[in-house]
Each structure stands twice: as structure tokens, then as C-alpha cells.
Amino acid sequence: MKRYLILSLMMVCMAALTTGAYANWTFEKSFSPQTGESCRFIDVDGQGDVWVTDYGAPGTSQIIVYNADGTSSQTISQGQISGAPQPLSDPGGVACDTTEGVVYCVSYENKYIFKYNEVTNAAMDGIDLDGVIPNAPGDVDILISGSKTYIALVNKVSAQWGLLDPAILAPTSYIVLYGVPGWHLNRGIGVNDTTNAVYIADEDSDAVHVWNQTAPGAWSQGTDLDTTTDGNQSACEVDDAGYVYCSITETNEVKIYDDATVLVETISSNLTTPRGCGFGTGKLYVVESTSLAPAVQMFTEFTTISDWEMY
């Protein structure tokens, strides 16, 4: 009878682990031996490739695309607007739409969101943000609402964020715009499509602000998620299970919260000025804003079943 109960409990536990239960991370290795000034943001496409934005040594702006284990890479230094090549200038946020197979990357100085094919890495016609106000594009993420896909774009130097239609390549305004004008240094934006929540990492106020969708096209600000004092919260991403990963640059940590705002893990080993996370199959990639090589730390997912007594 005891064997049967233990076996049943183990089966239940294993089922939970395969349906979105939280699993901790253990450090595996580093890669991306950069010698430049800084890396910025990171995401993983549907092929498992890791996209890292980097403004490198002064005068250098690039995207570096690594394979899943970081052993090979491709460098991208330009995008495309209206069929013409344009330089990548001061790259910011990067977001992979794995459903459509498109990667979006902010080019801050010339106010573009470049688009790339995730299979070939070739440039596609991107989005010209010249007519959009406010116009300090920072980080991007993908928001799926019903059958519609949006780009969630945070304005880098105000308490504002909004939604864009990725099919409109020369928008004159946001579809919707939230927040208020005023100085805030927004570094990262993350989206939870299941709970309809948007998370914004605000270095200026040392907090991650939460916005909740209350009705189609209507959002309201909720309670701040992370308020680490002098933390310089620089990025926040949401994994497929709904956990929120907050990069705390000042304390060299990534704090992980569930969708009920409960802290479930703090990663502090092998991190220096973390600036964002990307998620592969059983892998967590953390990019660091540092001139010290290497710039990407890779962690492996592991799960445990605790203290089963054998009979």
C-alpha cells in the first residue's frame, strides 16, 4: 500500500513538473567573449538561436546571433526600411515572434524597429518610428491578444508605453498609449499573454511597474512587482510558464517571481550587471552590460523530487 501511494504521489509530482511547475536554474557556462563597451538585451528565436544586441566599442552597433550553445555566431550591423539598407545605430530591445518567425530589434538613434527572418536572419522591411510620439524607443516585446499580434514598446525616457501593429510600417502614433510624461529611465518590457499583464523595468524609480488589461483596449496600473532599493531594475521578461525575471543590475541578481508576485528564486552566481534574460529549451540565458568577457551566462533547468523514502 505504501509503495502504491508513493508511486502515485511521484506520478502526480512528475505531471506537475511537465505542466508549467517552476524548476530552478544551475549555472552551466559562459559565452560571447566581448571586448566592447556593453551588451544590452537578449531573446531566443524559434530555431533556438540567441539574439544579443550590443553597442560594443564606441562607434560599433550590432546584433550577434549565437546558436543554442554559443559555439558559433553571426553578426548583423544593419536592417532595412522601405527596401533600402539602414545602419543599426545604438541597438536596444530585441523580441522574437516565434509564431510568425520574425525578430524585432530597436535601433534607438535612427528611430527604427528592424525586422529579421528568424530562419535566414535576413533583413525584412522594418518599422519607421519617425512620426510616433513619444519617440525614445527602448525595449520591445510581443503581445498576443486573441487572434491579433502587437508590438509592446516602452519609451526609454518617460513613464509611457504603448502598442503598435507590426503590419503598419510607418505608424503616426501608438494604437494605445499609457502612462504619463515625465523623466523615467525605462530599460525593459515583458508581457504575459495569459494574464494580460505588462511589466516595465524602471531604473529611475528602482521598480518594476505592472499594467493589467481590464478590458479589450483598456489597461490600468497595478502594484509594483519589484522594489529592490537602489537596484537599478534594468529588464524584465516572462517565460512560457508565466514567471517574471527581473534583472537587478546594481546588486548583480536576477529575481524570479510567479504571477502572484511571490519571489521563487534569486540567481546571483556568475552574474555581473545583468541586463535581460532569454529562454531556450531547458536553458536560461542572461546577458550582461559589461566590458568584461564573457557577456552571456547560460543556466540549465533542473527539477527535483524531494526526500522520497524507499520501502
State which residues form the domain around 221. 2-302
Residue pLDDT, tens place only, 5-48: 333 434 334 333 333 567 799 999 998 766 555 778 999 999 99
Give the pLDDT score at 128. 98
pTM of the model: 0.89
Tell me how far apart the alpha carbons of residues 159 and 180 are, in angstroms, rounded to a whole number: 5
* Residue of 105, 66, 73, 75 whose CA lies nearest to 89: 105
Tell me: pLDDT of 215 over 90: no
- The answer to whether residue 311 is domain-embedded is no
Residue pLDDT, tens place only, 245-256: 999 999 999 999
Report the CATH number that the domain containing residue 214 is assigned in CATH: 2.120.10.30
* Residue of 176, 275, 175 whose CA lies nearest to 235: 275
Give the pLDDT score at 34. 60
Least confident of 83-87, 143-147, 242-246: 143-147
* Residues near 150 by beta carbon (within 8 Å), at least 6 away in sequence: 142, 143, 144, 163, 164, 165, 166, 175
Q: What's at 213, amino acid-wise?
A: Q
Decide: residue 185, CB within 10 A, 0-12 exposed, 13-18 middle, 19+ buried: middle
The alpha helices in the chain, defined as continuous H runs, are 2-17
Give the pLDDT score at 264. 95
Contact 155, 251 (CB under 8 A): no
In which band, very low, low, confident or very high, does the pLDDT at 164 lie, cut at 50, 70 and 90? very high
- The answer to whether residue 308 is domain-embedded is no
Tell me how far apart the alpha carbons of residues 200 and 75 are, in angstroms, rounded to a whole number: 28
- The answer to whether residue 103 is domain-embedded is yes
Give the pLDDT score at 161. 94
pLDDT mean over 295-302: 91
Least confident of 46-60, 85-99, 260-274: 46-60
CA distances from 202 to 113, 227, 236 (A): 21, 10, 10
Give the pLDDT score at 52. 92
pLDDT mean over 111-124: 97
Average pLDDT, the chain: 86
Q: What's at 261, amino acid-wise?
A: T
Tell me how far apart the alpha carbons of residues 201 and 232 are, in angstroms, rounded to a whole number: 8
Cα 6-8-13 angle, rounded to 5 deg: 95
Calculate what percentage of the chain has a pLDDT beyond 70.
86
* Residue of 29, 123, 42 whose CA lies nearest to 288: 42
Phi, psi of 199 (to 5 degrees): -115, 130
pLDDT mean over 71-79: 92
- The answer to whether residue 143 is domain-embedded is yes
pLDDT mean over 224-231: 92
Give the pLDDT score at 304. 52
Tell me: pLDDT of 300 over 90: yes
pLDDT mean over 53-66: 82
pLDDT mean over 126-150: 93
Contact 210, 201 (CB under 8 A): no
- The answer to whether residue 309 is domain-embedded is no
Phi, psi of 189 (to 5 degrees): -135, 135
Dihedral (C-alpha) 77, 78, 79, 80: value to the nearest 10 degrees? Answer: -160
pLDDT mean over 190-213: 92
Give the pLDDT score at 187. 82
Residue pLDDT, tens place only, 194-205: 988 999 999 888
Q: How many domains does the chain have?
A: 1
- The answer to whether residue 194 is domain-embedded is yes
Tell me how far apart the alpha carbons of residues 127 and 167 are, in angstroms, rounded to a whole number: 9
